[in-house]
């Protein structure tokens, strides 16, 4: 009787609750389905992969596909390249963007509005639109045409070719204009603007300079943007395909997965074309699982720290 009264009294609340649960269940399915599909098909045996009766529950767990993926994608080499080229660049860019954002947020100087405008342009303009001049610049690295002028006078081209070296990633990251650098500066800038200026004034009275204030006061008080930018920077750099394929000769793990074709398994495992074609899908999915696994672990670790930073940081920007 009470249930009937509740249904009559609150029909709108019941309907909205049902729609909300339906929406989140559908969204969870869309987000989790590809991930579950990769996991299940990565551990399927050869017989289960081509058994129409086996869909989500393999008859036996088989890790041979993952071991084969180590050979096919040369995980040791490609994962090391991803770390050397991408992760180090992500750390460098994180540091440079924090410094640049602090300068824009806390100091007044001539041309500040112009630099803020250029920052917005950097966020809005896709990297693909400037890839040609960027490649030409890195292949004949020069600064304001100085080396080009000296080359004309001496008759020898002194402009170094940085393409194929980690410097094509490190230099933009050090200058804060690497992958998504404008967005990271903007995130830091918005948070730094909300910090009380009394913190810096107290540090200056105690004799701290700008760098010491930044490192001792501002950074410890900026937990949320630090976690956010570090997450975005490392994950986006790890997933980077465009720049790694454009500039580097040695492939990263993302490039190796993208370049996978019908001959890759045949050459790596020494199998005939028919057998390798049957193993292509399980091995490719195993490679995808190995690719996303480090980032999932990293995200879970950083998520806990992100929640802790919200609770411990006493300043809200």
Confidence (pLDDT) at 201: 81
pTM of the model: 0.82
Confidence (pLDDT) at 97: 93
Q: 185 near 104, Cβ under 8 Å?
A: yes
SS3 string, the chain, reads CHHHHHHHHCHHHHHHHHHHHHHHHHHHHHHHHHHHHHHHHHCCCHHHHCCCCCCCCCCCCCCHHHHHHHHHCCHHHHHHHHHHHHHHHHHHHHHHHHHHHHHHHHCCCCCHHHHHHHHHHHHHCCHHHHHHHHHHHHHCCCCCCHHHHHHHHHCCCCCCCCCCCCHHHHHHHHCCCCCCHHHHHHHHHHHHHCCCHHHHHHHHHCCCCHHHHHHHHHCCCCHHHHHHHHHHHHHHHHCCCHHHHHHCCCCCHHHHHHCCCHHHHHHHHCCCHHHHHHHHHHHHHHHHHHHHHHHHHHHHHHHHHHHHHHHHCCCCC
Residue 41 has pLDDT above 70, yes or no: yes
Rounded to whole angstroms, the Cα distance separating 7 from 14 reads 8
The pLDDT tens digits for 288-303 are 999 999 988 888 888 7
| pLDDT over 90 percentage in the chain | 15
Report which of 107, 104, 139 is spatially closest to residue 122, judged by C-alpha positions: 104
Confidence (pLDDT) at 316: 42
Residue 315 has pLDDT above 50, yes or no: no
Residue 152 has pLDDT above 80, yes or no: no
Residue 67 has pLDDT above 50, yes or no: yes
Confidence (pLDDT) at 101: 92
Average pLDDT over residues 73-81: 90
CB atoms closer than 10 angstroms to residue 63 = 11
Average pLDDT over residues 116-120: 89
Contacts of 134 (CB under 8 A, 6+ apart): 127
Q: How confident is the model at residue 98 (pLDDT cuts 50, 70, 90)?
A: very high
Residue showing tokens 């058994």: 51
Q: Is the model more confident about 5 or about 274?
A: 274
Q: Is the model more confident about 303 or about 313?
A: 303
Confidence (pLDDT) at 88: 93
- Average pLDDT score over the chain: 82
Residue 314 has pLDDT above 50, yes or no: no
Report all structural domains of the chain as residue ranges with CATH numbers, in order of start: 75-259 (1.10.3720.10)
The pLDDT tens digits for 162-204 are 888 899 999 999 988 888 888 999 999 988 888 888 888 888 8
Residue 40 has pLDDT above 90, yes or no: no
Q: How confident is the model at residue 280 (pLDDT cuts 50, 70, 90)?
A: confident
Q: Is the model more confident about 206 or about 73?
A: 73
Residue 263 has pLDDT above 80, yes or no: no
């Amino acid at each position: 009787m009470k249930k009937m009264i509740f249904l009559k009294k609150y029909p709108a609340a019941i309907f909205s609750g049902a729609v909300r649960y339906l929406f989140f269940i559908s969204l969870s399915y869309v987000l989790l389905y590809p991930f579950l599909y990769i996991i299940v098909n990565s551990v399927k045996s050869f017989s289960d992969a081509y058994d129409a009766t086996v869909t989500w529950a393999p008859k036996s767990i088989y890790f041979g596909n993952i071991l084969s993926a180590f050979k096919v994608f040369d995980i040791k080499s490609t994962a090391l390249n991803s770390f050397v080229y991408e992760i180090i660049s992500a750390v460098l860019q994180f540091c440079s963007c924090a410094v640049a954002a602090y300068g824009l947020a806390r100091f007044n100087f001539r041309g500040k509005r112009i630099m803020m405008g250029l920052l917005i342009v950097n966020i809005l303009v896709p990297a693909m639109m400037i890839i040609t001049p960027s490649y030409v610049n890195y292949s004949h690295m020069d600064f304001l045409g100085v080396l080009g002028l000296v080359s004309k006078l001496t008759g020898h081209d002194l402009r170094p070719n940085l393409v194929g070296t980690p410097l094509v990633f490190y230099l933009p990251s050090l200058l804060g204009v690497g992958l998504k650098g404008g967005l990271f500066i903007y995130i830091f800038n918005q948070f730094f603007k909300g910090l009380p200026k009394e913190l810096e004034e107290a540090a200056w009275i105690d004799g701290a300079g700008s760098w010491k204030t930044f490192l001792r006061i501002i950074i410890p008080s900026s937990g949320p943007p630090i976690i956010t930018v570090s997450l975005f920077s490392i994950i986006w750099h790890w997933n980077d395909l465009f720049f790694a394929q454009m500039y580097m000769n040695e492939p990263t793990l993302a490039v190796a997965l993208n370049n996978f074709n019908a001959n890759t398994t045949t050459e790596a495992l020494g199998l005939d074309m028919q057998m390798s074609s049957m193993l292509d899908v399980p091995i490719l999915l195993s490679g995808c699982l190995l690719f996303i696994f480090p980032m999932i672990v990293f995200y879970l670790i950083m998520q806990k720290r992100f929640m802790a930073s919200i609770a411990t940081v006493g300043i809200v920007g």
